[in-house]
Every structure is written in structure tokens, then in C-alpha cells.
Homo-oligomer: A and B are copies of this chain.
Amino acid sequence: MKTNFIHTYVSVDCVVFGFDDDQLNILLVQRDVDKTGVKDLKLPGSLIYNEEDVDDAANRVLFELTGIKKMTLRQFRCFASPDRASDPDDMKWLDKAYQPNINRLITVAYLSLCKVDRKLNNISKYKQTEWCPIDRLPQMPFDHNQIVKKSLTEIRAWIERNPAVVFELLPHKFTISQLHKLYEAIYNKNIDIRNFHKKVATMSYVQPLDEKQKDVSHRAARYFKFDKKSYNRLKTSM
């Protein structure tokens, strides 16, 4: 029996989803590596501090990245494969960004949601951030591609238990067509629009506004809003 209990370093990584009216995007950061002309994008993250819980570390990372305090956040999985930080480029970057000899790094992954048109106030160590469409993600360092893949299952489970989170991806007023496209993007499949209208009709917290689209070439659609009070009442009564 092995009795080799080593110390390890623990980080958090955040998968921040955004929706641009057409597809799901993920917020990536550019890390500084010694490769000329190579854009090296990754999930935003950080090693946890000495006196810091993992949830606090994830909140800190998102605040430094966006300027938004208390973003909706959900821890979803710890990734701890022994070789997840064994790529020489990744080890070199860890040396430079944190400290030398980080021979084992375990990460706790979080889901979050953000409107893509929101102005971000980035004060993090990452110089550049960008929204990247989920179906055109680059090859990322560590196991970040695997983390994103897993996060897609998780965001569905999250929405099924807590449908309110969907509306954090939409503008305050939205059309049913936008909501429909968002559900299609999250489930990555076509959803019959008539059945979808029936489904929305059962959501008492999706409420029509006295306002329609303006300056559109097609027939102007009505705007709707998410009514948090109705939602909370419904949730309490269940």
C-alpha cells in the first residue's frame, strides 16, 4: 500500500457563460507565455490564498476580471488528475505566474453567467479577456477544455433545478424568440417553437411588457421580462 501523502496546490477556475443572441460564449483570458505570436487562451482562475475558502477565491477571480461583486456562482467539480499540470508549457507558466515547483495542482471549477454586452472592468493579472463561441474554443492549457465540456452538462442541471439563472444571460427585456434561441444554444438542439411557446405560457414569472421591438424589418415582437417576485413566490409554494 502506498503511503505517500504529498502536499498539493489548490486553484479555482471559472467557466463564465454569455449569450450573444445567437450562441453560447465563454469568457477566456490571455495568459502571458514565451511563445511568439501564439495567443494562449485559458479559463480565468487563481491559486487560492492561505486564508481563503475556495468559494471566496472564485468570487475574487470574477471580481478582478469583471468588476462585478457577487456574481451568481456555482461550484461544480474538483478536477484532480495527477498529470493535469504536467505539460512543460503549463509548468513554466505556473513557475512564472506563482512560484516554482508546483508539482501537483488540483482545481475546483465554478460556473457563472454574465451578459456579453456588459462592460467589464478588468483589474486582474490577465491583460486581455475575450468572449469565445463555445463551438470554436481553442486548445487550452491544463484540462480546461475538459472542464468546459463538463460545464455544459452542469449548466443544464443548474437550469433545471433553478430556471431563474437563464435570465441572467438575457437583457432585462427580451423577446420569446431570444429566450427560445438561448434554450436551443444551451441544449444544443432544435426546440419546436410552438411547444416552446406553450412551455413559456406555464412560466408565470415570464411576463409580457407593454412594449414591442422598434425599427425591425420583420413584424415587431413583444418584449417580456423575468419577474423575480413571482418566481420566488412560486418557488416557496413548491
Shortest A227–chain B CB gap in Å is: 25
Partner of A47, one of B5, B75, B98: B5
CA A51 – CA B81 in complex, angstroms?
Answer: 8
In the bound complex, CA of A157 to CA of B157 (Å): 9
CB interface residues, A 86-107, toward B, < 8 Å: 98-99, 104, 106
The stretch among A6-14, A20-28, A32-40, A166-174 that forms the contact with chain B is A6-14
Q: Determine the chain B residues whose CB is within 8 A of the CB of A98 once the complex forms.
A: 5
How many copies of the polypeptide does the oligomer hold? 2
Asked if B49 and A99 sit within 8 Å, CB to CB, the answer is no
Residue of B nearest to A11 (CB): B5
Smallest CB–CB gap between A74 and chain B, Å?
11
A118 sits at the interface (CB 8 A): no
Question: B residues within 8 A CB of A10?
Answer: 8, 10, 80, 106
Contacts of A55 in B (CB 8 A): 80
Q: Which residues of B contact A81 (CB under 8 A)?
A: 53
Distance A82 CA – B160 CA, assembled complex (angstroms): 32
Report if A77 contacts B (CB, 8 A).
yes
* Residues of chain B lying within 8 A (CB to CB) of residue A8: 7-10
The winner among A5, A8, A53, A161 for most chain B CB atoms within 10 A is A5
For window 150-168 of chain A, which residues contact chain B by CB distance below 8 Å? 157, 160-161
- Least Cβ distance of A61 to chain B in Å? 13
* A residues at B contact (CB < 8 Å): 2, 4-10, 47-55, 75, 77-78, 80-82, 98-99, 104, 106, 108, 157, 160-161
